[in-house]
Amino acid sequence: MTATRGWLCFGLGTGLALAAPARSVAIQPNIVFIMADDLDVDLGSMAAEYAPNIHRLIADEGVTLDRYYVSDSLCCPSRTTYLRGQYTHNHGVFTNGGDSGGYAQLRARDLETSTLATWLTAAGYRTGLFGKYINGYPLDDDPTHVPPGWSDFVSPAAGNAYGSYNYTLNDNGTLVAHGRAADDYITDVIAGEADDFIAQSAKGDAPFFAFVVPYAPHVPAVPAPRHAALFPDLVVPRTASYNEADVSDKPAAIADRPLLNARQMTAGDDLYRMRIQSMQAVDELVARLVGTLEATGELANTLVVFTSDNGFHIGQHRLPRGKTTAYEEDIHVPFYARGPGIAQATHVAGTLIGNVDIAPTLATIAGAAVPSFVDGRSFAGYLTGDVDTITQASPWRQGYLIEQYPFADERGAVTPPANADRGGLLEPPDDVDEGPYFRARAGAAVAGEGEAPIATYIALRTDRYTYVEYESGERELYDNVNDPQQLTNIAASGDPLLLESLATYAPLLHACHGQACRSIETTVGMVIDFIDTPTPTVTATPAPTETTAPLRVWLPIASNGAVTAGAFGASGKFLWRR
């Protein structure tokens, strides 16, 4: 492979104009994208002492996104967002299985025909996926299916993949069984497959994209034998949100919960320790892949990214363990990247970036065309420090949509699979003590046949606030600057104008598509007040009508942030709030 490729410099920061210029193969970088499963950042699992290679070889050599979020804290919806650049309400893979999600829905909606993999393939890349794909993959009648766009595809097709042993891989259409031997440990096998792909790809002239997707630290978080005795004294950090003392201001599903008991706390500590133990093999995977990139002369030409599909909680707000909430532990995930044009040890702070942006960003960097259905935007300029190319084109987003949908159980399916050998591919239960917090409630409204399910909640994460609106009508509002652990719900006591603004924008984003999503995001907090002032000659107060009552509206305006002169009349008052 030639050594002349470098960072793709044109069009990197365009926040709204997604279509990339014609590609130039000579400057396309390789991309190695490593995504852990259920990896938290707020509980301390990414501390340098627990992930030394990730910090030394990626974060310290590149950039950290301090405010990187997932829009749906559940594996399958989030992974589909990573591949498609769409919010969950647009790609339609709402849960991990059953009638509303999983791989069956991805196939039924024909989403595989246009993903990041197909876009990069069209741009001349050699592509490979190694590890977990989409929950419920493969279908019972097609166990060796290789999705479109992947030159190399190695993913579990049967057995107990989450348990790290006794699984069968679909290796490019051939089923390969793995047992209980030490070298069958799944993270090590994934590392070896990805490493071989990089080494072989480096011998050719085409740029390559490796999507490396280990199962760790997902429950049951089985560590490699060589790591099973590490960190014997680790426990979940006892912060103020852990086993929260007063939850009376939170929704009933939490307010009615008792304090965690000793058994739950011990189980949480054991899981926390095993999660960090299981991540040691992932940390070694990173070192192995970076080492091969360096040995083949490709490291300088390669964008290396490390992140997660969603976060995780263990004991926060009295919730034993799991995800799917809008709290920071579940939606805030790690993001580190190194590559051409990225300065060492830099941080991007105060900028809301999310998993909906990954596909358009990587496609833009690769010189691939981005379809119009994409909701996200390229943040490549934030990686390279070329922020002006973003802000000059359009204001960056001021709010990020979080949404969650009901599912039948923690495994994401109403009934077990027809093929019992594939049961180990289903999502293992998270909260074994109390059941999932956001399980569909008895009597809750449900969608009709063929309709999208009704969201359990929609939420909006701004630079400062988290606003959550539940299907039950309950609401939460947190000031994350003054209350970073989200202990005090100020929905009933906060600024009414702020609350009204957030309550207006959340459903707008929940209904947005494509370009409209990006336009609405940039205007979160922009308030237009239409106030009719009575004249002194009016002696009687007419009954309020739709046309005479004061009107306060939050609306998307021009994408460059400008207000058209005269558009709102002389009585309009423009306010900006963050």
| Residue 18 and residue 364 in contact, taking contact as beta carbons nearer than 8 Å | yes
Q: In what order do the strands lie in the sheet with 572-576?
A: 551-553, 526-530, 572-576
User: Where would I find the beta strands (DSSP E) of 311-420?
Assistant: 335-338, 346-348, 353-354, 399-404
Q: How far apart are CA 342 and CA 306, in angstroms?
A: 14
**Beta-bridge partners for 101:** 95
Q: How far apart are CA 344 and CA 145, in angstroms?
A: 41
| DSSP-assigned letter for residue 3 | S
Q: How far apart are CA 567 and CA 453, in angstroms?
A: 37
Q: How far apart are CA 158 and CA 143, in angstroms?
A: 8
Q: Residue 309: helix, strand or coil by DSSP?
A: coil
Known catalytic membership, residue 512: no
CA distances from 349 to 64, 165, 253, 308 (A): 9, 40, 33, 18
Burial 517-541 (b: 16+ CB within 10 A, else e): bbbbbbbbbbbbeeeeeeeeeeeee
Q: Residue 58: helix, strand or coil by DSSP?
A: helix
Selected catalytic residue, list 9, 75, 76, 512:
75
What is the distance, to the nearest Å, from the Cα of residue 304 to the centroid of all Cα atoms in its chain?
A: 17
End-to-end CA distance of the chain: give it in Å, rounded: 48
Name the CA radius of gyration of the chain, rounded. 24
> Containing H/E element for 32?
strand 30-36
Q: Which residues have a catalytic role annotated?
A: 75
